[in-house]
Amino acid sequence: MRFLLLILLILPLSAGAETVVLGLSRDRINITANFDGSEILVFGAVKREVPISDEEPLEVIVTVAGPSTPVVVRRKDKRYGIWVNNAAVEVDAAPSFYAVATSGPLEDVLLRVEDLRHKITTTRAIRSVGAPDDIRDSSKFTDALIRVRQQNGLYQLLEGVVAFDQQTLFNTSIRLPANLTEGGYTTRIFLTRGGAVVSDYEATIFVGKVGLERWLYMLSRSQPLVYGIMSITIAVLAGWGASAAFRLLRNS
């Protein structure tokens, strides 16, 4: 099932004073029993009170970031003939999901200084303070974190997928995989000119379990004893039910 999430964006853009107005038609994604990923459709427009300037064209960058958590990255080494986890680096904060969508090649639409300031690319969105002294190649661990999550569809770099019409209307869609972490997903929209950010806006989409999924999850955390007893009771009943049903089938 796909949820369409519509972000309506109106950007009144005038020389000097730029204001961003954002309308969200939907601000949460529900994880139900048959949840199989979702798609966010982001679209909007640039509103101007002056004619389109002849300077360098405007570009659009959209980022969606899941909740950040610390992550331990472990590396396997061959010890005593088998592959075991050995060195470990704790990355202080890495978003559970991160997508960057742009209207052109990233190096053209974003300057390095602006990337540093706004933390737009995946490498900047991850905060890694330091590794233990005995690990010299700690950058390999952050690279591995990005690589593994890219392979799982959790980190995406979508260069040139934002359709930008007449320097005014833009839209893009970002695919969210099924293994989403619950929490607030920050959606940011940057307008850049010549690589410099001229306007930005931020909105949050809440991703959470609903219904039975939420009830079971909450029960397992708040009443683990009850949850455990319930699980065992279901198991015992199923075991008894199956043997009783088959006895009936055989006798009939």
Give the pair of three-digit tokens for residue 20. 């961003």
Q: Is residue 75 a contact partner of residue 39, using CB atoms and an 8 Å limit? A: no
- Range in contact with other proteins (rule: CB under 8 A) among 12-20, 43-51, 80-88, 164-172: 80-88
Does 134 bind other proteins (CB under 8 A)? Our answer is: no
Q: Is residue 64 a contact partner of residue 98, using CB atoms and an 8 Å limit? A: yes
Task: Among 84, 113, 163, 196, indicate the residue that binds other proteins (CB under 8 A).
Answer: 84
Q: Is residue 33 a contact partner of residue 211, using CB atoms and an 8 Å limit? A: yes
Task: Among 4, 8, 163, 238, indicate the residue that binds other proteins (CB under 8 A).
Answer: 238
Work out how close the CB of 74 gets to other proteins at its nearest, in angstroms, rounded to a whole number. Answer: 5
Q: Cα(199)–Cα(219) distance, rounded to whole angstroms?
A: 44
Give the pair of three-digit tokens for residue 108. 């053209």
CA 221 to each of CA 63, 91, 207, 224: distance values in angstroms, whole numbers, following the listed order: 32, 26, 19, 6
Task: Among 28, 48, 75, 127, indicate the residue that binds other proteins (CB under 8 A).
Answer: 75
- Range in contact with other proteins (rule: CB under 8 A) among 98-106, 126-134, 192-200, 225-233: 225-233
Does 126 bind other proteins (CB under 8 A)? Our answer is: no
Work out how close the CB of 241 gets to other proteins at its nearest, in angstroms, rounded to a whole number. Answer: 7
- The sign of the torsion formed by the CA atoms of 102, 106, 111, 112 equals positive
- Total residues contacting other proteins by CB under 8 A comes to 64
CA geometry: angle 79, 83, 85, nearest 5 deg: 90
CA 118 to each of CA 44, 111, 153: distance values in angstroms, whole numbers, following the listed order: 21, 11, 23
Task: Among 4, 8, 21, 88, indicate the residue that binds other proteins (CB under 8 A).
Answer: 88
Q: What is the binding site for other proteins (CB under 8 A)? A: 31-37, 67-76, 78, 81-85, 88, 90, 94, 96, 141, 144-145, 147-149, 151, 178-181, 209, 212-214, 216-217, 220-221, 224-225, 227-232, 234-236, 238-243, 246
